[in-house]
A and B are shown apart, each in its own frame.
Chain A
Amino acid sequence: MPTPNWLRRRGAKPQAADDKLWEICPSCGERIFIKDLDARLRVCPKCGHHFRLPALDRIALLADGDFDEIAENLTTGDPLGWSDRIPYREKTQNDRTKSGLLEAIIVGFCTIERMPAGLGVMEFNFRGGTMGGVVGEKVTLLVEECARRRVPCVLVTASGGARMEEGMIGLMQLAKTSAAVERFGELGLPLVSILTDPTTGGVSASYGFQADIVIAESGAAIGFAGRRVIDQTIRQKLPEGFQTAEFLLEHGQVDMVVRRADMKAALANVLRFLTSARYGAAEARRPKSA
């Protein structure tokens, strides 16, 4: 895939710190050259395991060509003056270097199979994709701007939940983004979420599952409480395949499970259908008194 202009404008992708040449597939043990893995949308050629996809690659996968980023300069301060083993400011600075992004989400506008749409993509490599004030603000801005432009909104999630380092400000982003989603819903415009590995906590428990159509990517871990939390709290053996996309499908929680290679086509099918001609649209415009 040639590098789209918007991606070129952003500059080169950040180099992995250890400069490693290959990855080991956690599912089948295959040793795969990173170059080959990237060329195959980071899907294991042997067993189909989906490695995590960086946000910029995800945008390149879903958008037709150009991507018009909004709110690209929003950055995180340190509302609580937080420090644990490492001060919060230092963590976010490290994540900026590591991911090449200012925060854990990129939002903007593009076309998807020629249909204009808002697209927000989360980046797990930035604070585990957690939602603090900036992620919440950018999601809200995107949804509001989609409403203003009367276009569908697509949110690709990858998140550990609300951001601890911002305390209750983090938690309240669930309410803030939900309010935007609720208002957006009144316009009869579609919100589609694509849940990727991993999507948990405050993001699954807000816009992740508030969408009209919820698509899960093959093999993604999706849930509310993370596996480790459940393990340590109830000390029960968890069933095989627990909290995978396929497990969620069987348990009625997602509309469909889609492989990465088929994702754009599946998303476009949904968008095309939901934005097709509305029954009664002509009537709605007719004055009530007539």
Chain B
Amino acid sequence: MNVIVELEKPLLELEAKIEGLKKLNETQRVDFSAEIRALNEKALSLEEEIFGNLTPWQRVHLARHPKRPLAMDYIARLDGFVELHGDRGYRDDPALVAGFAYLAGTPVFVLAQQKGRDTKENLYRSFGMAHPEGYRKAARIMRLAEKFAKPLISFIDTPGAYPGIGAEERGQSEAIATNIKLMTGLRVPIVVNIIGEGGSGGALAIGVGDRVLMLQHAIYSVASPEAASSILWRDSSKAEEAAQRLRLTSEDLFEFGIVDEVVPEPMGGAHRDPGKVIDAVLAADKRALETLMRLAPDELVDQRYEKYRKIGAHEEMVLDRAAR
């Protein structure tokens, strides 16, 4: 059960009540505007109370909210999207959508992880968890982007790469590894958008770029809190604590320099005003591309190298040989 869906219930009820009163106000002779004003104020404070100070665990659930805009909602706002299918080898993976489109007139290749809206679509799209053939389709698109000198934009929303027998048989590691390497050297601008869940290597496989944008309430983590809980605590009930410790929020990642820009969301999350959020993300992409396209390919790739070269944390220790 999604904890945000539970949390936001009283607010949604209150908002429904306000809507009802507004309708009455228009059709009846009685004036409800005072009541509406009072309820609106109450709604605002309730919103603040519920969403004003979310814990990382609640943010994980917000990132997975069933109504959160999905990659295809963003793609639908690009012009002239044409989907390109298949890895040319094994299967077309619906968990990873690829194609080309125009962003404010600029031709771009597009890669995206797509979750389903309902159970049926989630089964079809493997909950946004790509198989090796999905990543190989992405690799094919990356090579096309380079060959035809078009920028690449990607939308990340995945719990992680698909864990399964077939995925291992067909080389999940190799597929992810190839993409990460390809993206570090690709001679066109790459803009990455983390819009929901960024789950581990499966996310990074389309996530190395010159500008990494992240929605305020998206998460990006080395492993899902659930996985970290089972791996490190050997106990799946510690997910909440893991979420706390993993530092997976946009603020954390901005501080680490892993994310270059955080795109704010409305109070309560992107699903409270999807159109506005999508427009904000695409506007940020447009700005990022304008800057990046002024750089020559060599400069671009050098800057990308430096960007990733800098990420890390280490200390030094001088061993006292005599004491050993």
Contact = CB atoms under 8 A, between A and B. Distances in A.
B82 interface: yes
B86 A255 contact: yes
Contacts of B107: 273, 276-277
A250 B94 CA distance: 10
Contact of B88 (A253, A256, A280, A281): A253
B80 A281 contact: no
Nearest to A286: B296
Nearest to A212: B144
A235 interface: no
Interface residues of B, number: 29
Interface in A259-279: 266, 269-270, 273-274, 276-279
Contacts of A252: 85-93, 133, 137
A278 B145 CA distance: 10
Contact of B84 (A190, A213, A281, A283): A213
Nearest to B91: A252
Contacts, number: 76
Contacts of B42: none
A188 B297 CA distance: 15
A25 to B, nearest CB: 28
Nearest to B149: A278
A284 to B, nearest CB: 8
Interface in B23-43: none
Contacts of B148: 188, 190, 212, 274, 278
A241 B282 CA distance: 40
A276 B85 CA distance: 21
Contacts of B92: 249-252
A269 B86 contact: no
B37 to A, nearest CB: 52
Given A188-B148, A190-B148, 10 more contacts: A188-B147, A252-B88, A252-B90, A252-B91, A253-B89, A254-B85, A270-B82, A279-B150, A279-B293, A283-B296
B61 interface: no
A253 to B, nearest CB: 6
B83 interface: yes
Nearest to B150: A279
Nearest to B89: A252
B194 to A, nearest CB: 23
Contacts of A277: 107
Interface string B249-289: 00000000000000000000000000000000000000000
A224 interface: no
A248 B189 CA distance: 32
A31 to B, nearest CB: 36
B188 interface: yes
A280 B297 contact: yes
B151 interface: yes
Interface string B65-109: 000000000000000101111111111110000001000000100
Contact of B86 (A253, A278, A283, A286): A253
Nearest to B296: A283
The 9 A-B residue pairs with the shortest CB-CB distance in the complex, in nearest-first order = A252-B86, A278-B149, A283-B296, A276-B107, A255-B84, A252-B91, A252-B92, A279-B149, A252-B87
B85 A255 contact: yes
Given A252-B90, A279-B151, A269 B80 contact: yes
A204 to B, nearest CB: 12
Interface in B148-168: 148-151
A80 to B, nearest CB: 34
B115 interface: no
B187 interface: yes
A119 B107 CA distance: 24
B150 A254 contact: no
Contact of B147 (A212, A256, A269): A212
A279 B210 CA distance: 15
Contacts of B293: 279-280
Given A250-B91, A251-B92, A252-B91, A279 B188 contact: yes
Given A274-B148, A279-B150, A249 B86 contact: yes
29 contacts: A188-B148, A190-B148, A212-B147, A249-B85, A251-B86, A251-B90, A252-B91, A252-B93, A253-B88, A255-B84, A255-B86, A256-B82, A266-B82, A273-B100, A274-B148, A276-B107, A277-B107, A278-B148, A278-B149, A279-B149, A279-B151, A279-B188, A280-B187, A280-B293, A280-B296, A281-B149, A283-B296, A283-B297, A286-B296
A185 interface: yes
Interface in B182-226: 187-189
